[in-house]
């Protein structure tokens, strides 16, 4: 499925999203056009993990490494497959994190991933 608009998170506001202070995606998202693969899908895939993404998409781990490091350009079908798997994981994460409502209010797949990066990414950075 091709989203109508590609989104990524703004630098400002991610702390408010992570703490639940802001729940409206429109307050913290910005349109990045065709750069969503590099700025949203790949970072979310890295956060989830290449092995898990490989298992869920049935794409070889080595191929994902090349895609995620920019050494290969994915076909549209590969982008859609990876995006769908990463979004599915993000939605599952939101369910366990008690933030499913924020994710459901997001406009499209990339908005879901932007919220995932803002919330899950801040938790990972805070734990390290």
For the chain, 128 residues long, give each residue's pLDDT as a single digit of tens.
Answer: 333 344 444 444 555 656 666 666 666 555 555 678 888 899 999 999 999 999 999 999 999 999 999 999 999 999 999 999 999 998 888 877 666 666 666 657 888 888 888 888 766 544 44
Give burial (CB, 10 Å; 0-12/13-18/19+) of 19. exposed
pLDDT at position 28 is 59
Every domain of the chain and the residues it spans: 7-127
pLDDT at position 64 is 95
pLDDT at position 26 is 63
Global pTM? 0.68
**Separation of alpha carbons 32 and 101, rounded Å:** 24
- Scanning 35-75, the segments in alpha helix (DSSP H) are 36, 42-48, 50-57, 61-68
């Amino acid at each position: 499925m091709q989203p109508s608009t590609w989104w990524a998170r703004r630098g400002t506001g991610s702390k408010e999203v992570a703490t639940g202070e802001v729940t409206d995606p429109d307050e913290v998202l910005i349109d990045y056009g065709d750069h969503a693969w590099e700025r949203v899908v790949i970072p979310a895939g890295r956060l989830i993990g290449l092995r898990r993404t490989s298992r869920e998409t049935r794409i070889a781990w080595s191929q994902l490494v090349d895609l995620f490091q920019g050494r290969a350009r994915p076909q549209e079908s590969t982008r859609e497959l990876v995006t769908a798997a990463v979004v599915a994981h993000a939605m599952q994460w939101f369910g366990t994190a008690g933030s499913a409502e924020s994710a459901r209010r997001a406009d499209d797949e990339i908005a879901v991933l932007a919220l995932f990066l803002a919330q899950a990414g801040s938790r990972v950075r805070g734990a390290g």
